[in-house]
Amino acid sequence: MRWSLLALAVGALAKDNDETTTDTITSASSTITGSSASLNWSDASTITNGSVYVPSGTYLTYTSVVTLGNGDHSTVVSSSLSGNATTTGNQTILTTSSNSLTVLVGSGGTTTISNNSMNATATHASTSSTPTQTNTTPCNGYSEFCMRNYSNITNVAAHNSPFVVPGNAASNQALGVTDQLNDGIRMLQFQTHNKSGEIHLCHTSCDILDAGTLEAYLTKVYQWMLKNPYNVVTFMMGNGDYLPPSAFVDPIEKSGLKSLIYTPTKVPMTLDDWPTLSEMILHNQRAVFFMDYQANETAVPWIMDEFSQMWETPFSPTNPAFPCTAQRPPGLSRKDALNRMYMANHNLNLQLNFGSLSLLIPNTADMVETNSADVNTSGSLGKMAANCTAKWDRPPNFLLVDYYNYGKPNGSVFEVAAEMNNVTWNGKCCGSKSAAAHMSVASVSTMALVAAGVQFVLSVF
């Protein structure tokens, strides 16, 4: 029992590992060899038999570009285009054999997109110079986003999205995934672990917090996406047990999301390589999957390697100044960083030291200030986003936050994203119920668990 209490109090353990390795990926057409550096995962520590185990992952640097397959898609989603339309549930599917489609986009332009058999390589053929009609259908909540590249939008990301367990200090969110998506979350980040041959969503260890199977969680997201066909959702999978990407194919397919998968045209993807949201929506490729470690895009092209497509600011930060430096992958040059998407980690933690153990737990006490949109508030999301924009000449693509519904005002994380996107937030948030009780219980539980952890550590050392 005392072991479980200590494990629940442990948010992370940070140590350095300078070991280097070499990775080789082989496909039918190419072999890519790159250097990679082994580094600890600072949010995936476990304690076994009184000793600390810190898993480590590798980062691959591609020395050449690989052209990937175009996926399984041959349909277009729409409720207004002409053609042979069929309806499945709440989704309208349009198939066409014509050479082009005319789509209403953005603030009024009419764009023709070449058909190219409806594969992932569709490109703009022409754009009218005179706006003819205003698009009233928003893409990811805003009509202004329809003609923007996927890589040119700032999204709010839910850190450890599935971890919504009242009274459990390992929780990171107060509202479930359906509420998250309804409120405007467009990246879902989570940790996965192997439990008896099934992939579960567990915080550090399934003994600490087990939010159920990956398949069940993704099924909920799929059901939401069917009802909301003009939305692109990104999934950031933490592969805590370093499973091969093939292990994730079955739960993704069984959830239904495989029918909505986006398959990139190549690896790595630079900023200019990403399609517009309207292209992704029209081709029904609206579910974008990334994996932090062990991705192999020549084997499973639609589970993308995170760190060859984007970089991250310091992970599980304890510094309330939230420096906007590139931490992962390590050693990234500014030139390369400027040509990739990036994620700003803005989930503040407390560091506690027990003997030789260094523990990180979520700092719920300062959550309102941490998620604030006020650029003059120290440690606020608004200030970090502004600093990142100034430092890198463009806003972050993803703002990773805990308890997204808290802020100043509640839901102010969406106000920050709207500011970065140069659009106006509607001010609506958050969820179908109040989560104040959950936050209170989580904070009290954290203190109790830390106390129990101290007692346990003292008894061991």
List 450's β-bridge partners, or say none. none
115 pLDDT above the threshold of 80: no
Q: Is the per-residue pLDDT at 99 higher than 50?
A: no
Q: Do 133 and 237 fall within a single domain?
A: no
Which residue out of 73, 193, 200, 203 is catalytically annotated?
203
Residue-range definition of the domain harbouring residue 132? 76-145
Highest-pLDDT range among 69-73, 89-93, 220-224, 457-461:
220-224
Which position has the token pair 């950031």?
236
Q: Can you tell me the mean pLDDT for 129-144?
A: 70
CA gap 75, 426 in Å, rounded: 32
User: Worst-scoring range by mean pLDDT, 188-202, 359-373, 379-393, 399-413?
Assistant: 359-373
Whose tokens are 């100034």? That residue is 390
Whether 193 is catalytic is no
pLDDT digits (tens, 9 = 90+) for 156-183: 999 999 999 888 878 899 999 999 999 9
Q: For the chain, percent helix, then strand, then coil, each to nearest 5? A: 25, 25, 50
Is 84 found in the same domain as 193?
no
Which residue, 145, 172, 199, sits at the end of a domain? 145
Active-site residue 438, yes or no?
A: no
Same domain, 120 and 157: no
Q: Are residues 233 and 268 in the same domain?
A: yes
DSSP letters along 373-434, please?
--TTSTT-HHHHHHHHHHHHSS--SEEEESSTT-SSSTTHHHHHHHHHHTS--------SS-
pTM for the predicted model, two decimal places: 0.75
Q: Name the catalytic one among 159, 193, 200, 346.
A: 159
CA distance 76 to 260: 11
Confidence of residue 363 (pLDDT cuts 50, 70, 90): confident
Is the pLDDT at 33 greater than 70? The verdict is no
Counted domains in the chain? 2
On whether both 297 and 330 belong to a single domain, the answer is: yes
How far apart, in whole angstroms, are the C-alpha atoms of residue 285 and residue 281? Answer: 6
Residue 56 inside a domain? The answer is: no
Dihedral sign of CA atoms 327, 421, 269, 297 in order: positive
Secondary structure of residue 305 in the 3-state scheme? strand
In this structure, of 39-43, 165-169, 269-273, 406-410, the range with the lowest mean pLDDT score is: 39-43
List the CATH number of the domain containing 318: 3.20.20.190
Q: Which two tokens stand for residue 318?
A: 């304890």
CA distance 184 to 155: 8
